[in-house]
Structure 1
């Protein structure tokens, strides 16, 4: 009798595996929820919508963008962690995501252990903006002004642990002076205070910040890249502006819940790879200063770990403590 039950259990398990495998092979058969863990209007939102629009026809299903913001991106990210690992709830996020509890003490997940990396899809340089009331145009001139009036200078941060936050910490270290940082809930409120002169400096993706400079509401000081951005050819690099050690970019990727079937990962990553080669998609990204840098599920985890190691080193060097 015991042997018979074992046999029945074995058959049941095998049947479930077969059904799950078949479902993965036919995926997707219904719309996909594409979670963006930040409010509309920021760099992650812009890039996430562009990628969702590009992969939807390649997957043959609707990709429904859902902005689920809160707690520096952890609310939306955790919603994906808790979702069924069937490929119908996916996370689109920026490089800040991989730092987890290193920047948000209460983060309810481990970004490496609790998620399935699908693919990396693009990166964008950052840009340093100064409010119009700041004296000077080059970085040494701005640093001199900050040293002369330390209480009158603050950096606005769109989110703790973001590429902009890491670049800000590195700027302060290289400048050799203390400049206070103020964390906001997203880029939009930080930009509002920058334009109003309530904060004097901000570093974030060029996608988000450049329009303010182009409209004359703030000053573009430098891009944190080795070469000038085609989007802003008149804006110098940080090396040209007087701080050669400041080179950082924000990158974007897609993750699913832990245990996402390999066939689903392969299907979504293949759609992303195909989009990254599409001239129309590349041209759209270029209008926002974004470069398509596809990296599939085989290489993506190693890239993530290297980025985590570098970012943690920057945070520790600055004495940053997660909040």
Structure 2
């Protein structure tokens, strides 16, 4: 009997060790958008945080396309073993509301791990154009409606939703052109192919500092230390225009709860570090540290609000 028990213990131990050893090889963090945008930037901060806390290499892999669905599907189809995560933004949960056939359900097929930060958006314009504030912009658009187009990094992104609300609040109907990420949209705005864009502070402040864009308003009730010269929404004449992009990590459905908990704890601890919080504050981002349960509850509320906005605007999925 003793021999049988010892043999059973010996057979069980490798499985216990393998489970407890996570992570014992490099982790992939798939970013569903192009390099250089706010989603990529926040994902790389999260990747470095995980790497520092878990002691294992975290490789960032950009897989843009389909409003985040190409990368999202890749994560949803990955083995739920803790070696593939999705690092994305608020857009990731909106696929079903902006696409007729997204190919997967991000709410059912991805597991929320942690929300890492949130930040306001900037309403930006090609600096060669004459309007100096929103009142002048509205007048210019009404005088020449065909001369104005908004760009957006992706349908369903915070910038897209804020643009839809801007049109509703101002009574305008400026067309919205969708791009595969922030970088190509910004290139077209700087080139004059589009005139306007709403995107996170994280992505737009460097362009603002370089004189490549002009900012007319920030999508919150107060100014940001990252761009103190930009008027708040109420100051710009848009009280109630409040939108935030937020960023987080997801894993594939079936990811063990203990791995979710360990990854979440690593991110919570890392995002609380003073040097990380200061770095994000300088970029206009508020560092967050929430449990997976808090993140899931937040997603539910955010999706409900944004879906209602799209219905109000009579948005038709593409």
TM-score range with shorter-chain normalisation?
Answer: over 0.9
**1: CA distance between counterparts of 2:306 and 2:193?**
28
SS in 2 for 1:105: coil
Cα offset, 1:45, TM superposition: 0.4
Query: Is residue 245 of structure 2 the alignment partner of residue 250 of structure 1?
Result: yes
Count of aligned residue pairs for this structure pair: 309
What is residue 199 of structure 2 aligned with on the other side? 204
**2: CA distance between counterparts of 1:172 and 1:153?**
12
**2: CA distance between counterparts of 1:142 and 1:134?**
10
Query: Is residue 154 of structure 2 the alignment partner of residue 159 of structure 1?
Result: yes
**2: CA distance between counterparts of 1:287 and 1:36?**
23
Q: Deviations over 1:117-141 (max 9, x none)?
A: 1111101110000112333222122
SS in 1 for 2:315: coil
Retained in 2: the 8 A contact 1:132–1:197?
A: no
Of 90, 97, 102, 1:102 maps to 97
SS in 2 for 1:221: strand
Query: Is residue 280 of structure 2 the alignment partner of residue 285 of structure 1?
Result: yes
CA RMSD of aligned residues (A): 1.7
Distance of aligned partners of 1:175 and 1:20 in 2 relative to their CA distance in 1, 3 Å threshold: farther
Retained in 2: the 8 A contact 1:37–1:76?
A: yes
What is residue 8 of structure 1 aligned with on the other side? none
Q: Deviations over 1:205-255 (max 9, x none)?
A: 011112222222221111101221111111111111111121000001111
Distance of aligned partners of 1:108 and 1:22 in 2 relative to their CA distance in 1, 3 Å threshold: farther
Cα offset, 1:23, TM superposition: 3.7
| Structure 2: segments with no counterpart, 5+ residues | 1-7
Retained in 1: the 8 A contact 2:222–2:233?
A: no
**1: CA distance between counterparts of 2:316 and 2:245?**
21
Cα offset, 1:20, TM superposition: 6.3
Distance of aligned partners of 1:24 and 1:125 in 2 relative to their CA distance in 1, 3 Å threshold: farther
More displaced stretch, 159-168 vs 195-204: 195-204
Q: Deviations over 1:147-173 (max 9, x none)?
A: 111011110111110000000000000
**2: CA distance between counterparts of 1:57 and 1:161?**
32
What is residue 7 of structure 1 aligned with on the other side? none
Query: Is residue 33 of structure 2 the alignment partner of residue 38 of structure 1?
Result: yes
Of 92, 112, 117, 1:117 maps to 112
Distance of aligned partners of 1:34 and 1:292 in 2 relative to their CA distance in 1, 3 Å threshold: same
Query: Is residue 216 of structure 2 the alignment partner of residue 221 of structure 1?
Result: yes
SS in 2 for 1:243: coil
What is residue 3 of structure 2 aligned with on the other side? none
Residue correspondence of structure 1 range 60-139 to structure 2 within 5 A: 60-139=55-134
